[in-house]
A and B are shown apart, each in its own frame.
Chain A
Amino acid sequence: MPGSAHVRLENVVKRFGRVVAVAGVSLDISRRSLTTILGPSGCGKTTILRLIAGFLAPDEGDIQIDGASQRGLPPYLRKTSTVFQEYALFPHMSVSDNVAYGLRLRRLPRASVAEKVRHTLSLLKLDGLERRFPRELSGGQQQRVALARSLIVEPEVLLMDEPLSNLDAKLRVSVRTEIREIQQRVGITTLYVTHDQEEALAISDTIAVMREGRVMQVGSPRDIYERPADPFVAAFVGQVNLLRARVEEGGVRIGSLRLPVPPDSPHVEVGHEAILALRPEAIRIGAGSEGRDGLTGQVVSRTYLGTTVRYRIELAGQRLTVDDHDPAGKPLLEGPVVVSFDPTRIRLWPASPEMLQQMEEGP
């Protein structure tokens, strides 16, 4: 695991008028890691980025890089470098001038600037494009130029603000892999901001999930996915079914089914409601109406997608989405079906009124 805390946020608060964009966030970013802040729009993730970059000053709390507080430091004195969502390439400069800009500011000798530019362009596979202007480049190329421009100044921390959102879907996958490779090769501490959970899962060392200005959970991609800290995180990252169950002695009940409480669950009061999270892969579905390890439900709708068949099941008064990933040869289900759950893959939390309301509204 990459080393100690390179960047530390301590109880950072940022308000815009009456809106609290960041409501007391503490976060450690490890050296040489790629840490992603993941969350829906408006959750405060971009604000955090700008706070670290120095474009905004925290109202409360502190930001430290290598133990040194960044308070009062304007962006041009911080050792961070940002890749903007719209790339922000200087339209009046060529590719090599754009990339060389930061070095020229530092008054490096011309020969070494040229050498570094050549090296960085090559690293990002931009050879041959030195004299082009940003308007002549494709989206992917522009993105790489922006990255080159930021990397060449050898910052302590690289900040990336939703860098893939302006690319089309197919490109996104290949570019994110490239970014990850470069990041690991150069070994630079990177803070990455996105709302795309698949992206986050694919490239991060650590993910911090944010919502409404707060960090909900910090962990490795696996942790986040397999052990989400609350229904929101569970719903945001990957697909999940959220069901309401009643807590009884030694277990929880949905309809006629009783399930054990998973060992590392938070405490649930007997007699109260709990929320169950079930990823689609933890659910099995079959024809018939057996009642022992499963529940009986009704197929409400069915969508054939080639590799998968997606069923919407009505069960115990609640709705469920189940995927069959291997429908070849099997008849398509309809009518009454038996749904069974893998008890080891259940997550459980006490139901708060807020969570219940969120479930009503949907993610």
Chain B
Amino acid sequence: MRYRNAAWGRLGSAGCLALLAIFLATPVWAQSKPVMVYGVIHEYTLARLMQKFERDTGTKADFIRLSAGEVATRVLAERQAPKGDVIFGISRAIQESMKTQGLLEAYKSSRRAEVPSRYVDPDGYWTGSALTVQGIAVNTERWKKEFGNAPMPKTWEDLLDPKYKDLIVAPSPLSSGTGFTFIVGQFFRLGEEKGWEYLKALDRNVRFYTPSGIAPTRMVAAGEFLIAITFAHDALKAISAGYPIALIHPAGVSWDIGSVSLIKNGPNPAGGKKFIDWVLGRDPIQLIVDLNFEGSLRSDVSLPLGATPLEKIDLVDYKLDWAAQNRQRALKQWGELFKK
């Protein structure tokens, strides 16, 4: 009995040490520095994109998918010793804010020429990669059940109808780019004062605000709610998956440019630059369009499946500078007004 216990003890210890060795073999710290990408686009698409990058260029890369707010926070928190090289897919409004805070490094990629100039930072701190427009997503099954043949909302003001009380779900601008884009869109459409009033009126119908930008679309897709404030690409993805959604673009729709930038003092700036040069190319952009349903800024990339052509959508006059400068203040005010 004692003998057996002793044998087990040694076997156990040996086993533990062996396991420890295995776990530590794949090192917990970074070896040869891969390119570190903070991506804001959908994780699956991002993963595919990074895989293609590694295949096409032979450079190792690692990424983490974060929401826009998280990226801003993380880069700021890490400014003494940045861990990331590139920010990809984030709203340009946030890029502007980070540029002002001195968190970015200018890099004028040769690819900039392939993108319309108004979607590129003249100082070279960020470059647009995708165009995203917003809209309303309505669950058609529920609509039929609850409102029959009544016409679906066509304008933003239609959403204020009391019959939609607790049926609308929207993203919170505090943590999601989608939310922020939406509220500034209303400011650009109505002017700031009227914009706040609109948001207050809409708030009466909103059940709650989600931390993530895509959650409202997801919930409406599943039928948890009836109407969502959404980005077109999120809705299109759900439609292609088979969910019963109708995507509506009211007059005066907000939009955004997903963009890429180089983080200042990142661990691998050369790799970062390589990534930027690569990701703006035709094939990567096509991949994003195909998988993520975002709109491309390149002329040689097709529309996402099911998307309304851009000419048919009424976009607001988006003033980037204003959005960047007033972001913090607007968010603060929003947080104080809306507790949900």
Asked if the two chains touch in their complex, CB atoms less than 8 Å apart, one says no
Residues of A within 8 A of B (CB): none
Residues of B within 8 A of A (CB): none
